[in-house]
Chain A
Amino acid sequence: MSIRNSFTIDGERVDFEPGQSILQAALAAGVFIPHLCFHPEFSAHGSCKLCTVVVNGRNGSACTIAAMPGQEVRSDTPELNQRRRMLLQMLFVEGNHFCPGCEKSGNCKLQAMAYELEMFNDHFQHFFPDRGPVDASHPEVMLDRNRCIQCELCVRASRDIDGKEVFSLAGRGPASHLVVNAASGLLGDTPFAATDKAAEVCPVGAIMVKRVGFTAPIGRRKYDGASIRDQIEHPAPAQEG
């Protein structure tokens, strides 16, 4: 293993393939860096900032910074985790995230990340956003915009994998929200299907397949048994050639 293709995270050596981001290399090596808008199957988005690390003394998003030989990365530090907690708290209050009544509870990455980073309260005042009623016009899938954290994973999945471009973010700042590609503005009037990749990537309870609800009992939901740290989603193995 050549020295050229490795760097350190919190003192631990991590090898990488050229072209990998710090986050990709870290996850492939089994080193957990908190993240929400990154997904191994899609290009990086760099919006949630949860993956912020210190690289050679400067802050940056681990999902968008290319891994370079000899980098010194700090990630699991009290200061960075405190900032990550604050980012999570802001995400929680900006949307309607009331876990006890939400069917995504136990399978939700936002909630799992909050447990992982020991976020014990919301700290900030709730926005109680009103981004419109639940869109249940589609027979198989519903859309609750008030739970959207605007990670654009559905946007990327629909565009890059499903080839449909069903979703997009519109508006600016606090008014930004998810829209769908139909004149009526209704999901039921788009070519979206429950089998689309975009129907399964939402990290929170904004895009939900209908009538699933609470069928998974407490104890058998994704993050009941093991924390999100211990369930790293690995990128598909690199293609040869």
Chain B
Amino acid sequence: MFAASLETASEPRKLRRVAIDPVTRVEGHGKVTILLDEANKVHQVRLHIVEVRGFEKFIEGRPYWEVPVSVQRLCGICPVSHHLAAAKAMDQIAGYDLLTPTAEKLRRLMHYGQMVQSHAVHFYHLASPDLLLGFDSEPTRRNIVGVLEDFPQIATEGVLVRRFGQEVIRATAGKRVHGTGAVPGGMNKALSRDDREMLRADVDQVIDWTVGAIRMVERLHETKPAFYNHFGEVAGNMLGLVNASGAADYYNGTLRARDAAGTIIFDRVKDASYRDVLEEEVKSWSYMKFPHIKAIGSEEGWYRVGPLARIQVCDLLTSERAEAERQRLLAVGGGKPLHGTLFYHWARLVELLHAAELIRNLLDDPTICATDLMADKGERRFHAVGVIEAPRGTLFHEYKVGEDDLVTYCNLIVSTTNNNQAMNEAIRKVAVQYLDGHEITEPLLNHIEVAIRAYDPCLSCATHALGLMPLQVELVDADGIVLSDVRRGMDGGVSCSVPG
């Protein structure tokens, strides 16, 4: 694969360095460096993300029942995913094998609420400015405010869809952020009838709006199919959880991986055995580890997780309209798996629809307000793994807990880490497609960011989405002298300075 060769340039000292730091609409820990020669030919492209591994140390030494709540501090964007992955592990630690039917339903409800909330933030707030206004539109307007002006209906729906997701979380976890809901062995709270009625009254509208958003993405695709199909397109393996009948399962299930052609690499791997099939590699240039499929090895064994992987790893989605939409999307590939980076957006909306339909089905379940919340306790365990499909992809939590109830070991592989290599491959492809041989401009650099944002790296910061974070691009020669310095300020204005 030619893109892989761009991981490390053969003679980096002779090249000019472009750094995109930080990546906008991704919280300030993402940085891209590009090495170019005199003719602007691209020799090396790397995405560096500073992953906060210190968090695992923070968990060690704490009592196990605290972890599902305290681990939510890891991530302000999808805290519920961490809450539930940790709760799944701590169920086993505390000695609970099976939850009561109601407790599992409520956890799923909470989880699907998070899926709706997170996917809505990503699509409407972070991605729609690029998609609707154009990758090379005026940067000062390329944000949700610009969308609000030009596409007020879409922007308003986005706000309401997101709020619906938040309300599902509140109804099950007690609060919209940093709730408690799941406890080892079950749930601490039943769904109230009032909340059920309130959510049921809104869910059909959310479903309809989501279908509308899918149609819009479909129409965009029709305008430039070649562009959308091949932007940042890199063939790769795919990983996700499926249930016993092969349907996608976001809360439970076993691990399945397919290769780039769609052939199954492994299937029915219990989440607790993830280390049998996956391993993590450290690279000297990145703080973040590179997980890959063990049997294939670190070079070719990287995989994608998240919406685009999930909808293709599974055999079907269990909800009707979402499965129909999945089929429409897959039809674009004409029977071959889709690997274009921008398909993430379309797939994400299909998942948003699926999550909303699952929420509706749960709300229609006559026993959803039942109060059998805690299971019967069995034998206490000392080691457990909890895996869940977080909005951005597979999320692994592994713990060891001592006799005294304190955590002695913690390993987390978050979705963004799983996608580390995939994102690197995508931006290398984009660099080759759009930057190679060109004078570097802000719109061209935004193409790189568009590819990263499609994966929705977990550092995405919804609260910063309104303003552009400063972007700095430095061209540095082999002696480290700054040749030119292009800056995009907080106001979106671009200034350029060339030291004399």
Contacts and interface: CB of A to CB of B under 8 A. Distances in A.
Nearest to B177: A100
A140 to B, nearest CB: 10
Contacts of B68: 214
Nearest to B404: A136
A219 interface: yes
Interface in A110-165: 133-134, 136-137, 142
Contact of B65 (A100, A133, A211): A211
Contacts of B62: 134
A211 B175 contact: no
Interface string B178-194: 11110110001100000
Contact of A214 (B61, B69, B73, B406): B69
Taking chain A's interface residues, is the majority helix, strand, or loop, or is none over half, making it mixed? loop
A101 interface: yes
Interface in B385-433: 402, 404-406
Highest count of chain A CB atoms <10 Å: which of B66, B69, B70 = B66
A130 to B, nearest CB: 11
A175 B402 CA distance: 29
A213 B70 contact: no
A101 B72 contact: yes
Contacts of A216: 188
B174 A219 contact: yes
B174 A217 contact: yes
A136 B405 contact: yes
Given A100-B72, A100-B73, A133-B61, A213 B405 contact: no
Contacts of B180: 214, 217-218
A100 B71 CA distance: 10
Contact of A136 (B175, B178, B181, B406): B406
A212 B188 CA distance: 11
B94 interface: yes
Contact of B61 (A134, A212, A217): A134
B324 to A, nearest CB: 38
Given A134-B61, A136-B63, A101 B406 contact: no
A194 to B, nearest CB: 14
Interface residues of A, number: 20
A77 interface: no
Interface string A190-214: 0000000000000000000011111
A218 B175 contact: yes
B405 A101 contact: no
A33 to B, nearest CB: 31
Contacts of B63: 134, 136, 142, 210, 213
Given A100-B178, A218-B180, A213 B406 contact: no
A239 interface: no
A210 B181 CA distance: 18
Given A101-B72, A103-B69, A219-B174, A213 B183 contact: yes
Contacts of B72: 100-101
Contacts of A133: 61, 406
Interface string A217-232: 1110000000000000
Nearest to B184: A213
A160 to B, nearest CB: 29
12 contacts: A100-B69, A101-B69, A101-B72, A103-B65, A103-B66, A137-B404, A210-B63, A213-B69, A217-B180, A217-B181, A217-B189, A218-B189
Given A101-B66, A101-B72, A218-B175, 13 more contacts: A100-B69, A102-B70, A103-B65, A133-B61, A133-B406, A134-B406, A136-B63, A210-B405, A214-B69, A214-B183, A217-B180, A218-B180, A218-B189
